């Protein structure tokens, strides 16, 4: 196994490093990484940023907003939050969270904290969330990463993330603060974060020998290019969106799907697909195929058959998707 250590707390750099690990460093050996970010909101790949944040609080407090490579929902990071990453070879095509969260829950259970994987991709204690997880599968490799709220400022989690009413009501809760928790809330004797980090690292290695991979100057230069071209770029983190005259959204067991269309003279001129879902396909292939199509059920049915909707959303029928478009 390989261990990659980085003391950077810059979210732009850390997410660029993750992409570089996935595309360049990762080979036959599994890779483990633990890392932290200064206060920041990390947006899921397919989310509409402005719908997920409280811009006044973000600007006033100098909080970074960065889009990650993986799908799922927005999460808040600060130095009281510990992130873990695992990258390895895989023959799987479907996302599997339990395999990667089990070492975390096993460690916490031994510490007397009844943690479990709950719902789609969260880890919880007594129904309260302390971890959100996301995955990305590409070219025979899987990247899994997750947050661990250890001693974060939960009031900042609430203020930074703009949570819509339908998300709150669907979980029968009253606020973000009431449904998240710190792991230290459940410790009889608080373990310093640095000590917990060492314990988690040993758990993730599962007793296997490991060696540290030290980033070279060439690596650092390539990561910095990714920062400049993607993770530090407004177009990636926010994106300039055209005006839309139609928007429909629906929540499924596997995540929320939001379809926005600009239709002129009966033709689809622009199309975006957002949400907190997970997908390993390039959605630009789908939205590109829809642009220029007639805004009719028959034409959409033909287009979706041709492009293969199941490639992008295996659990979504064409009928369900068309209902979001007409």
Please tell me the predicted confidence (pLDDT) of residue 169: 42
Please tell me the predicted confidence (pLDDT) of residue 240: 56
Average pLDDT score over the chain: 91
Please tell me the distance from the alpha carbon of residue 300 to that of residue 191, in angstroms, as a whole number: 56
Please tell me the predicted confidence (pLDDT) of residue 163: 58
How large is the average pLDDT for residues 217-232?
97
Contacts 24+ apart (CB under 8 A), 233-236: 236/67
Cα 284 to the center of its chain, rounded Å = 18
* Tokens describing residue 26: 């990762």
Q: For the ranges 19-33, 153-167, 211-225, 241-255, which has the lowest average pLDDT?
A: 153-167
Q: What is the pLDDT of residues 31-68, one digit of tens each?
A: 999 999 999 999 999 998 988 999 889 999 999 999 99
- 247: helix, coil or strand? strand
**Please, are residues 42 and 14 in contact by the beta-carbon 8 Å criterion?**
no
Enclosing H/E stretch for 238: none
Q: pLDDT band at 95, cuts 50/70/90?
A: confident
Q: What is the pLDDT of residues 110-119, one digit of tens each?
A: 999 999 999 8
Please tell me the predicted confidence (pLDDT) of residue 44: 94
* Tokens describing residue 326: 């007409």
How large is the average pLDDT for residues 232-247?
82
Q: What is the pLDDT of residues 261-272, one digit of tens each?
A: 999 888 999 999
> Which structural domains are found in the chain, ordered by start?
2-237 (3.30.930.10), 246-323 (3.30.390.50)
% of the chain exceeding 70 in pLDDT? 94
Please tell me the predicted confidence (pLDDT) of residue 164: 53
> Among candidates 126, 125, 134, which has minimal Cα distance to 183?
125
Q: pLDDT band at 172, cuts 50/70/90?
A: very low
Q: What is the pLDDT of residues 3-24, one digit of tens each?
A: 999 899 999 999 999 999 999 9
Hey, how many other C-beta atoms are within 10 angstroms of the C-beta on 28? 7
């Amino acid at each position: 196994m390989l261990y990659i250590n980085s003391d950077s707390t810059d979210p732009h750099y850390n997410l660029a490093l993750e992409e570089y690990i996935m595309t360049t460093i990762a080979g036959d050996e599994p890779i483990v990484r633990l890392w932290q970010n200064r206060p920041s909101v990390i947006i899921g790949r397919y989310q509409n940023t402005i719908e997920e944040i409280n811009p006044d609080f973000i600007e006033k407090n100098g909080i970074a907003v960065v889009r990650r490579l993986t799908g799922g929902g927005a999460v808040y990071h600060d130095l009281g939050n510990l992130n873990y990453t695992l990258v390895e070879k895989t023959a799987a095509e479907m996302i599997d969270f339990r395999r990667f969260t089990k070492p975390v829950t096993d460690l916490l259970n031994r510490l007397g904290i009844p943690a479990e994987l709950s719902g789609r991709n969260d880890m919880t204690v007594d129904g309260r969330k302390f971890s959100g997880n996301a995955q990305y599968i590409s070219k025979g490799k899987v990247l899994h990463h997750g947050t661990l709220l250890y001693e974060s400022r939960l009031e900042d989690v609430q203020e930074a993330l703009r949570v819509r009413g339908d998300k709150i009501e669907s979980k029968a809760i009253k606020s973000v603060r009431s449904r998240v928790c710190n792991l230290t809330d459940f410790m009889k004797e608080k373990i310093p974060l640095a000590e917990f980090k060492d314990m988690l690292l040993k758990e993730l290695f599962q007793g296997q020998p490991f060696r540290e991979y030290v980033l070279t100057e060439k690596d650092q230069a390539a990561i910095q290019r990714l920062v400049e071209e993607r993770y530090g770029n407004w177009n990636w983190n926010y994106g300039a969106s055209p005006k839309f005259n139609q928007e429909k959204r629906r929540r499924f067991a596997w995540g929320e799907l939001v379809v926005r269309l600009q239709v002129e003279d009966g033709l689809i001129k622009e199309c975006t697909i957002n949400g907190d879902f997970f997908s390993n396909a390039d959605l630009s292939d789908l939205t590109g195929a829809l642009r220029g199509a007639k805004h009719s059920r028959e034409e959409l049915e033909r287009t979706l058959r041709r492009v293969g909707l199941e490639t992008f959303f295996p659990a979504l029928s064409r009928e369900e998707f068309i209902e979001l478009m007409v």
